Amino acid sequence: MAEVTLTIGGRHHQVLCRDGEEAQVERLGRMLEERWADADRAAGGLSAERAMMFVALMLADDLDEARRNPAAAADAAPALPPGLADRLEAIAAALEQSASGS
């Protein structure tokens, strides 16, 4: 097991995850931190638990919107660099050819 330290709202949280998942957990932690200031204001600065609840509600709202409107979520996805799709297809074809022994 790997251990990652997330800093959210100025507090450090130790999180265990499977080996190799550290970058994903850190990315998710940054998403929480990005919303912390707004959530803390919404919570009136009363408690970290209440602020974290507001962070969760904000993320749940984003998820709900993406589920209800998947086309908008797809439009928001970053575009691939020019030619990348063609290069990936060529690599896949070469790997398939190599695997078949041709």
Mean predicted lDDT score pLDDT of the chain? 84
Residue 34 domain-assigned? yes
The predicted-structure confidence for 33-50, as pLDDT tens digits, reads as follows 999 999 999 988 889 999
Does residue 50 contact residue 43 with C-beta atoms inside 8 Å? yes
pLDDT surpassing 90 at residue 22: yes
Number of domains in the chain: 1
Residue 49 domain-assigned? yes
State the pTM of this model. 0.64
Query: Lowest-pLDDT range, 21-30, 35-44, 68-77?
Result: 68-77
Q: Where are the alpha helices (DSSP H) in 1-102?
A: 22-42, 48-68, 70-76, 84-100
Rg (C-alpha) for the chain, rounded Å, is 20
pLDDT surpassing 90 at residue 28: yes
Residue 102 domain-assigned? no
pLDDT surpassing 80 at residue 93: no
pLDDT surpassing 70 at residue 21: yes
Residue 60 domain-assigned? yes
Full residue range of the structural domain in which residue 85 is found: 2-97
